[in-house]
Structure 1
Amino acid sequence: MGWATDLQDASFRGVQFECTAASTSYAKALSVKQAPYSDDASVEDMGNDPDDISLTAVFTGEDYKTYLDALITALKVTGSGELIHPIYGVMQVFVVSFSDNFDAENVDFCTLNIKFLRNKQDKKQLFIPVKTQTSISTATIIDAPASKLGAFLEKLKLQDSNKLFATVTTIRNSLDQARSYLGLAKQSIEDVLSPATYIVGLVDDVTKLVTFDTNITAISKWRDITNRVQRFEKVFQDTDSTEITQAWRSTQVAAHIAVAQQVIATVRAEMASDEIISFTPVDLAVVRQNTRKVLQQAIDIERISNTFESVSQIQIYKELADQIHLQIQELIETRPPITTAKVPVNCTVHWLAHYLYEDMSRSDEILRLNPDLMNPSLLQIGMELTVYAR
Structure 2
Amino acid sequence: MSWSETLLDASFRGVPLDVIDENLQAQRAIAQHGTPYQDGDSVEDLGRGARAFAMRVVLFGTNYEIALQALLAALDTIGPGELVHPIYGSVSVIAYNWSVQHTANRPDYAEVSLQFIEQKPDEPFFKRQFVFVDEASLMLGDEYSWQDGLFDLLASVDSLVADVQGWIGGGWTGLLERALGLPGIGLRLEQLRSQIMGVVSGVVSMAKGDPLSAFDPLVNLAQTPTEIRRAIQDSTPTTSSDLLARGGVPAAVPGASSLTGEAGNAGASLLASARQGQTPSDEALPKAMPADPLAASGMALVVLVITELALSHAQAASVVIEAESEIPTLSPDELESLVNLVRSLIQSAILLQRRLYGIEDALPVIESLRNIAHLVQARARSVILQSPPLILRTVQTPSSLRLLAFRWYSDHSRAAELLRLNPGLTRPYSIPAGEVLRAYAK
State if a TM-score over 0.5 links the two structures: yes
Residue identity in the other structure for 1:294: L
* Structure 2 residue 432 is the aligned partner of structure 1 residue 380: yes
Distance 1:42 1:370, change over 3 A: closer
Select which of 181, 189, 211 maps to 1:186. 211
Question: In structure 2, how many angstroms separate the alpha carbons of the residues matched to 1:282 and 1:143?
Answer: 35
Question: In structure 1, how many angstroms separate the alpha carbons of the residues matched to 2:428 and 2:158?
Answer: 46
Residue identity in the other structure for 1:285: E
Q: 1:262 — aligned with what? A: 316
- Conservation of the 8 A alpha-carbon contact between 1:203 and 1:254: yes
Q: 1:30 — aligned with what? A: 23
Q: 2:193 — aligned with what? A: 168
Distance 1:196 1:231, change over 3 A: closer
Query: How do 1:351-370 residues align onto structure 2 when only pairs under 5 Å count?
Result: 351-370=403-422
Q: 1:294 — aligned with what? A: 345
SS in 1 for 2:399: coil
Query: How do 1:176-325 residues align onto structure 2 when only pairs under 5 Å count?
Result: 176-188=201-213, 190=215, 192=217, 193-194=221-222, 195-207=224-236, 210-212=237-239, 218-219=240-241, 222-228=244-250, 231-232=253-254, 234=256, 237-238=259-260, 240-269=294-323, 271-272=325-326, 274=327, 277-305=328-356, 307=358, 308-325=360-377
- Conservation of the 8 A alpha-carbon contact between 2:306 and 2:349: no
Deviation at 1:285, TM superposition (A): 0.5
- Conservation of the 8 A alpha-carbon contact between 1:340 and 1:387: yes
Distance 1:366 1:234, change over 3 A: farther
Deviation at 1:316, TM superposition (A): 3.5
- Conservation of the 8 A alpha-carbon contact between 1:339 and 1:387: yes
- Conservation of the 8 A alpha-carbon contact between 2:163 and 2:362: no
Distance 1:382 1:282, change over 3 A: same
Rg bigger for which structure?
A: 1
Deviation at 1:45, TM superposition (A): 8.7
Q: Give the unaligned 5+ runs of structure 1.
A: 1-27, 34-39, 47-124, 213-217
Bigger relative CO (Cα 8 Å, ≥ 6 apart): 2
- Conservation of the 8 A alpha-carbon contact between 2:399 and 2:432: yes
Q: Can you list the C-alpha shifts for 1:227-251, whole angstroms capped at 9, x where unaligned?
A: 4265449466416443552353233
SS in 1 for 2:438: strand
Q: Can you list the C-alpha shifts for 1:341-361, whole angstroms capped at 9, x where unaligned?
A: 222321111111122222222
Question: In structure 2, how many angstroms separate the alpha carbons of the residues matched to 1:388 and 1:44?
Answer: 23
Q: Can you list the C-alpha shifts for 1:169-205, whole angstroms capped at 9, x where unaligned?
A: 3211221123334544433265731133223212221
Question: In structure 2, how many angstroms separate the alpha carbons of the residues matched to 1:363 and 1:126?
Answer: 35
Question: In structure 2, how many angstroms separate the alpha carbons of the residues matched to 1:149 and 1:306?
Answer: 13
* Structure 2 residue 165 is the aligned partner of structure 1 residue 146: yes
Single out whichever of 357-366 and 187-196 deviates more from structure 2. 187-196
Q: 2:52 — aligned with what? A: 43
- Conservation of the 8 A alpha-carbon contact between 1:141 and 1:250: no
Distance 1:223 1:245, change over 3 A: same
Q: Can you list the C-alpha shifts for 1:108-145, whole angstroms capped at 9, x where unaligned?
A: xxxxxxxxxxxxxxxxx984855433433462463321
Deviation at 1:225, TM superposition (A): 1.1
Residue identity in the other structure for 2:227: Y
Distance 1:141 1:189, change over 3 A: farther
- Conservation of the 8 A alpha-carbon contact between 1:148 and 1:243: yes
Distance 1:189 1:253, change over 3 A: farther
TM-score by length of 1: 0.58
- Conservation of the 8 A alpha-carbon contact between 1:369 and 1:387: yes
Question: In structure 1, how many angstroms separate the alpha carbons of the residues matched to 2:213 and 2:372?
Answer: 31
Residue identity in the other structure for 1:152: G
SS in 1 for 2:437: strand
Deviation at 1:284, TM superposition (A): 1.1
Question: In structure 1, how many angstroms separate the alpha carbons of the residues matched to 2:376 and 2:252?
Answer: 18
SS in 2 for 1:387: strand
- Aligned-pair identity (%): 19
Question: In structure 1, how many angstroms separate the alpha carbons of the residues matched to 2:323 and 2:51?
Answer: 49
SS in 2 for 1:319: helix
TM-score by length of 2: 0.52
Q: Give the unaligned 5+ runs of structure 2.
A: 1-20, 27-48, 56-133, 141-145, 262-293
Task: Count residues with an aligned counterpart.
Answer: 269
- Conservation of the 8 A alpha-carbon contact between 1:149 and 1:243: yes
Question: In structure 1, how many angstroms separate the alpha carbons of the residues matched to 2:199 and 2:255?
Answer: 11
Q: Can you list the C-alpha shifts for 1:37-65, whole angstroms capped at 9, x where unaligned?
A: xxx9953599xxxxxxxxxxxxxxxxxxx
Distance 1:247 1:237, change over 3 A: closer
Distance 1:328 1:129, change over 3 A: closer
